[in-house]
A and B are shown apart, each in its own frame.
Chain A
Amino acid sequence: MRLNEDPAAFEAFYRRHVDAVMKFVVRRVSDPHLAADLTADIFLAALDSAHTYVPGRGSEIAWLYGVARNVVSAQHRRAAREARATGRLAGRRLMDDDDLARMEERIDAERQMRSALEAMRGLPEGERAVLELVAIDQLTVAEAAAALGVRQVTARVRLHRARRALEHVASPPPVYVEGQA
């Protein structure tokens, strides 16, 4: 894919997926400014990793969700550690009041998904990742496997374990532990 070289190809790609990416983000963060930043970060990361996507090897959205996951989980790790660097493309600076209101609506609409994600916090990382993409982001198991860079059979096994583990969880684990994402 010549995403990072061909502005027209990038624009088409962007328009196909910007809505899905924003949805992905607001399922995971509830701060509208951060959501805007992460949306920008994900597309920047997609530009960085454009060479890793080969058309025909799995779906575009699976690849992009793989990128998105990396960006969002890195954000969790870094959140407490550092103030955002200056000079980067900060999504929040691109929002006006209307955008902010609409971002808040998006965040509101995904409240249930965020609490579902919260309930998965206690699962082992590998299993949780598959369950997230399948149950929350509605990817197929094959797409989730592609997004995570694991084999389909691995994804299927992890999904099965995750679902079984959730059945045994009486209540969601209380705290998200920094550094485990």
Chain B
Amino acid sequence: MSNFEERLLSALTEEIATRKAENGMTTTTTPVRRGSRRRLVGLSAALAGVAAAATAVVTLTGLTSSPAYAVTKASDGAVSVQIHEFSDPEGLEAELAQAGVKAVVDYLPQGQTCKDPRGSAGTASGRFGASIRRSGDGIAFTIEEGQVPAGETLVLTVSKSEDGADRPPFATSLQVVKGAVAACVPTSMPVPGDGGAGANFEDDGGAGFHTKTEGKDQGPSLSTGTE
């Protein structure tokens, strides 16, 4: 192997070490539970604190470059979704439909989400779990076979970053809805720290938001679950 290839290998190996060190410092996608009464089951989504990520991962941004999204179906039926840029929600819905997952995708401006509930909770939510991971500047998640059965719909809602559609999102939410899905009615998101106690919504056992801010250089972290 030549010099270029060897040098590139060394640089990449260093990159791995750097990333490991940085991952040790930040936990940007840990779902946070509030109180022991509520159990997070089913599809839970983690919200990354973008302000914190922007400082911690500043050397990594701009490394990845790829189209808006990728949907991959594995031989065991699991569907992997990677979103790099929060644009073209209809295209993503179409790709997911092609992979056998009925989905409703809404991208909203920073600080906005869709009014809950979007519909009744899916049947599989007690048995399956999927979580949103950060992936570069975007997000990724995997839907296992059967997690979104016929008659149910995967509902993905993303509150984009004000810095642009290809920046890490402000907030994300993933849920499975049985039957009809209500159209998205944009509404302001609960802002962590607002009023001191943080926001904690409950809708008759439907989807709920849990928000919490950890430390002063950690952005908001929000997880939604369906009971």
Contact = CB atoms under 8 A, between A and B. Distances in A.
Interface of A: 4-5, 7, 10-11, 14-15, 18, 36, 39-41, 43-45, 47-49, 51-52, 54, 57-58, 66-67, 70-71, 73-75, 78, 85, 87-89, 91, 94-96, 98-99, 102-103, 146, 149-151, 154
Contacts of A44: 12, 15, 63-64
Interface residues of B, number: 39
B44 interface: no
Interface of B: 1-5, 7-9, 11-13, 15-17, 19-20, 59, 62-67, 70-76, 80, 82, 95, 98-99, 133, 135-136, 140
Contacts of B11: 40, 89, 94
Contacts of A87: 59
A7 B67 contact: no
A5 to B, nearest CB: 7
Contact of B135 (A14, A49, A89): A49
Contacts of B98: 150-151, 154
Given A48-B64, A89-B63, 12 more contacts: A4-B16, A15-B1, A18-B5, A43-B8, A47-B12, A51-B140, A58-B75, A70-B66, A71-B64, A74-B65, A75-B65, A151-B99
25 contacts: A7-B16, A10-B12, A10-B16, A18-B5, A18-B9, A43-B12, A44-B12, A44-B15, A44-B64, A45-B64, A45-B136, A47-B15, A52-B72, A57-B75, A58-B75, A70-B70, A71-B66, A74-B67, A85-B62, A87-B59, A89-B11, A94-B3, A146-B72, A149-B73, A151-B99
